[in-house]
Amino acid sequence: MQPVRTVDDLTGPRPLPVVGNLVQMRTDRDGHRAYDRWAHEYGPTYRLRFGKMPIVVSGDGPIVEAVLRDRPDGFTRTRVGPVLEGLGVDGVFGAEGARWRRLRKMAAESLNAAYLREYFTVIARSAARLQARWTTAAENGQAVDVLDDVRRFTLDVSTALTVGHDLNSLEAAGGGLHSRLAELFPEIGRRLYAPLPLHRFVTLPRDRRRRLAMREVDALVRDRYAHARTRMATGAKPATFLEALVAPLRDEPAFTHDELVGNVLTMMLAGQDTISSTIAWTLHHLAGDPGAQERVRAEASTALGASGPPDGPAALRGLRFTDAAIQESLRLRPVVPVMGFRPTRDTVLHGTGYDLSLPEGQSILLLLSHGARAVPDPDEFRPERWSGRMTAQPFFPFGAGPRFCPGHNLAMLEATLVVGLACRDFQLLPDSGDVGEKLAFTAFPTGLRLRPQPRPEPAGAARP
């Protein structure tokens, strides 16, 4: 028998009057690191206060896993559903119960392995455009804004995969839909942590940009809807997420226009900031570790061929070290470091050395990747860790259980391809400047610029 801890038994950082720990929780410069520091100081399960309300935070592997697996019946997501709905992003991520089951089935089907093979052509086309953009920068000796460029890549890919439209923001100059959509994730974070719903009373320029982006997506869905309906009426297999949504479902009512937009937007967004931040952080770490970058370059030169993207996803199987570099980056800079849940009934969770008793409705924030800090030199970037026992670590950058990220394979495919091609074709050097992390629902790098240089010639090789 282990001792049982209740919410009142837990300790944590001292709350301020009225706001509690809210100010400390809005970690604008330090990203998610504050949560890890508190876990170090108060133990893997501790307590914060949101105003007066207690919030349990846990990075204890068995507790994190138990909550993630006990869904949809035992735990629901906290607050995020209504926030997403208010922003018009009302899709599978925020749904619960029967509605979630219906949407999940479609999301999982449209992202299964068979589709990934078909999607590869679209992904490779955008990867080639990203390479061309960085070739120009390398030739002109310019630094690149990695996150902005990779966001263009992921938005182009996710727009093509969700509605079948080639946005091509990679070859467009200046800000576009990708920069306006970038306002959405931070706004979700702001609304989740806001003590008062100020957005209902004040409209800021960023709100206007975000609304403009929503109208653009709405128009895109309207435009592609008729096309999707016509194709699905022929009995064709869905080739985009929108087609999967409009394809007739046995005994189920059709989706309304708002539901279509909400779901398309959910998939577009889920596949955009998450992958772009992961790629950007991985390239940042590789730029700071020339030895690791060289190992990626060597295997990418063999696996991906001499120039351009490979013909199919099978080539990526040769990128074992590249995959390890991405895992290691996710360990150091998880893009979804913290997620909130609520038990639907009184629950006791089995932790490491104690049981945690939670009353129904008690908010619990999970630190999804905290468990993987229990390694030697946890702040060091060491991809080689992943060749051994690391897979046994309680590490959940994509969640776990029935609501595990359905885009995991697509994400790893895009990230491995882009990181492999970037290291094969360029030598990446860090640019001067202060790189930070911002946590706003997802976590993303700030100030991340790199200098791509023409690639170093392999010894004795002639350039094609």
Task: Give contact residues for ligand HEM (rule: CB under 6 A).
Answer: 68, 92-93, 104, 107, 111, 158, 266-267, 270-271, 274-275, 278, 335-336, 368, 397-401, 403-407, 410-411
User: Which residues are within 8 A (CB) of 285 and not within 5 positions of it... i.e. 6 or more apart?
Assistant: 292, 325, 328, 329, 332, 381
423 annotated ligand-binding residue: no
User: At its nearest, how many Å lie between ligand HEM and the CB of residue 201?
Assistant: 31
Beta bridge pairs of residue 444: 438
User: At its nearest, how many Å lie between ligand HEM and the CB of residue 203?
Assistant: 29
* Token output for 413: 């495919």
User: At its nearest, how many Å lie between ligand HEM and the CB of residue 309?
Assistant: 18
Measured between alpha carbons, how far is residue 62 from residues 324, 351, 379 in Å? 24, 6, 23
User: At its nearest, how many Å lie between ligand HEM and the CB of residue 245?
Assistant: 13
Instruction: Indicate the residue among 160 and 315 with the shorter CB distance to ligand HEM.
Output: 160
User: Which residues are within 8 A (CB) of 175 and not within 5 positions of it... i.e. 6 or more apart?
Assistant: none
**SS3 state at 360:** coil
Instruction: Indicate the residue among 148 and 431 with the shorter CB distance to ligand HEM.
Output: 148
Instruction: Indicate the residue among 69 and 229 with the shorter CB distance to ligand HEM.
Output: 69
CA–CA gap between residue 298 and residue 321 (Å, rounded): 10
User: At its nearest, how many Å lie between ligand HEM and the CB of residue 198?
Assistant: 27
Instruction: Indicate the residue among 10 and 339 with the shorter CB distance to ligand HEM.
Output: 339
Instruction: Indicate the residue among 163 and 267 with the shorter CB distance to ligand HEM.
Output: 267
User: At its nearest, how many Å lie between ligand HEM and the CB of residue 425?
Assistant: 22
Question: H or E stretch including 260?
Answer: helix 257-270
User: Which residues are within 8 A (CB) of 395 and not within 5 positions of it... i.e. 6 or more apart?
Assistant: 331, 368, 369, 371, 372
Asked if residues 120 and 312 have their Cβ atoms less than 8 Å apart, the reply is yes
Instruction: Indicate the residue among 10 and 155 with the shorter CB distance to ligand HEM.
Output: 155
Q: With CA atoms as reference, report the closest residue to 333 among 276, 294, 385, 295.
A: 276
Buried b (16+ CB within 10 A) or exposed e, 189-219: bbbbbeeeeebeeeeeeeeebbeebbeebbe
User: At its nearest, how many Å lie between ligand HEM and the CB of residue 272?
Assistant: 8
User: Which residues are within 8 A (CB) of 41 and not within 5 positions of it... i.e. 6 or more apart?
Assistant: 13
Instruction: Indicate the residue among 70 and 148 with the shorter CB distance to ligand HEM.
Output: 70
Q: With CA atoms as reference, report the closest residue to 428 among 169, 146, 152, 173.
A: 146
Instruction: Indicate the residue among 5 and 373 with the shorter CB distance to ligand HEM.
Output: 373
User: At its nearest, how many Å lie between ligand HEM and the CB of residue 118?
Assistant: 14
Instruction: Indicate the residue among 137 and 242 with the shorter CB distance to ligand HEM.
Output: 242
CA–CA gap between residue 415 and residue 420 (Å, rounded): 8
DSSP string over 187-198: HHHHHHH-SS-G
* Token output for 137: 């920068």
User: At its nearest, how many Å lie between ligand HEM and the CB of residue 72?
Assistant: 9
Beta bridge pairs of residue 365: 57, 340
User: At its nearest, how many Å lie between ligand HEM and the CB of residue 327?
Assistant: 11
Q: With CA atoms as reference, report the closest residue to 51 among 17, 82, 9, 26.
A: 17
* Token output for 176: 């576009």
Residue 276, class by beta-carbon neighbours within 10 Å (0-12 exposed, 13-18 middle, 19+ buried)? buried
Instruction: Indicate the residue among 296 and 411 with the shorter CB distance to ligand HEM.
Output: 411
Question: H or E stretch including 342?
Answer: strand 338-343
Binding site for heme, by residue number, is 405
Per the annotation, binding residues are 405
